[in-house]
Structure 1
Amino acid sequence: MLRSGIVISPHTRRADGRTIREIARLTGHSRNTVRRYLRGEFSPKKGNRKSRGSKLDPYKPFLQERLQEGIYNCEVLFDLLREKGYTGGRTILKDYVKDFRPPKQVPAVLRYETKPGEYAQVDWGLCDYVDLDGTVRKVPVFVMVLGYSRSTYIEFTKRCDIHSFLRCLIHAFEYFGGIPKVMLTDQMKTVVLGMGDDPPPPD
């Protein structure tokens, strides 16, 4: 059988007006072979090249068993393969394993769920604002967030004292239309009287 790179030549030379004898001499094929090709008895075929195997091929069934066990660490797999007689490298192993590695998942964060009206979070904050003369100043802000709906009430004040705190609490209750059962605070000086203090002695 003539290869595709060779069988084109007789047709080309025939078109140039060459005789079968000249074509046979120039191509190195017999005159009968040239005649048969020109009559269409030969069809060009590409050579079938066998794909090269890799050193990893004999160990793929073993690898699949380890992957089914959840072992995807290539260093661990490489050591296991070496014990089995594997003489290849790590790169081909990593390329093979990455096609079977499960996608990374972001760990889920369990949200602390509460019932409506059960609790609210209260805290002070500071916000920056630019005065009319361009000076950056800070203003205290009262914040209350409901645990269930995450609804938020914000009020800017002049001070972070107990009087401002109580006033803002009342405004927040009026805004939400009710009072939560529990309120959580973050070590606010207007709420926390002390930490780790011994209880007062009994009368």
Structure 2
Amino acid sequence: MLGSGSIIMLHELKAKGKSIRAIAKETGLSRNTVRKYLRANGIPQRKPHPKRGSKLDPYKDTIQQMINSGIFNCEVIYERIKEEGYTGGRTILRDYVRPFRPPKQIPAVRRYETNPGQQTQVDWGEYTYIDEETGEVRKLYIFVMVLGYSRAIYVEFTNRCNVHTFICCLIHGFEYFGGVTDIVLTDRMKTVILGVDENNRPIWNATFKDFATTLGFVPRVCRARRPQTKGKVESGIGFVKDNFLPGRRFTDYGDLNRQAIEWCDRKNKRIHGTTGERPIDRLKEENLRVVKNFVSD
């Protein structure tokens, strides 16, 4: 497109009586171009190019449904539309979702890093859902276990959270990781600690204490009113609720646990945002202690 100075020059040449052929020869422009600018009233406007369609367009209804349901996690949305045939990337999806995302303010907490094989953090969460067949509101408990060094994660759903279920979940987690850490850090839950004595020493749940002695790990609980002491597993529970559960469909909690293990396998192979490495690779550096001859129910 010619600038205003060039267009004025064309009109000046025309005013001098020069033909379109002569102007085209002098300026090096084609006769059609010269004719177009001389006929135009003012500076011709460039015709807008038709807007190209986005690979995201066929899936925007699905995306909007998820956003309207409170799902803003792009990884979750990406996996859903990928199942429907989406072949585009994550960047255009993030750009599309960003204006709909509510502001989030998270206070900064200094994170405590651990050495390989040193610590496991475990905690419970709750998951409430509506049974599609009966319409009843049901509740499951989420057991989340995170290795402090590698950030490898293990998730299991149960219909109770008593000490026997807790121990079974711990065994399943240790089996999944391939060994036991030196320390197991938990919240101040009754399945672990009943209180403190006059010297402020923990009064351990006897069943849990026997289990810890058998496997050879040191039980520790986070300080009162300081849940961020076990920040890795706290963020792990949020990760499960934000990344695994939204839109999840399952027939029973056995099916849900099979899906959870598959999800853990995938997430342990991703690049972790904090370490910059894959948990499955750092897991090899944990050098966990292998405990033989213990079997979960």
* TM-score interval, normalised by the smaller of the two chains: 0.3 to 0.5
Greater RCO (Cα-Cα under 8 Å, separation 6 or more): 2
Would you tell me which structure has more helix in proportion to its own residues? 2
Task: Please tell me whether Structure 1 or Structure 2 has the larger radius of gyration of its CA atoms.
Answer: 1
Per the normalisation by structure 2, the TM-score is 0.29
- State the TM-score, normalizing by the size of structure 1: 0.40
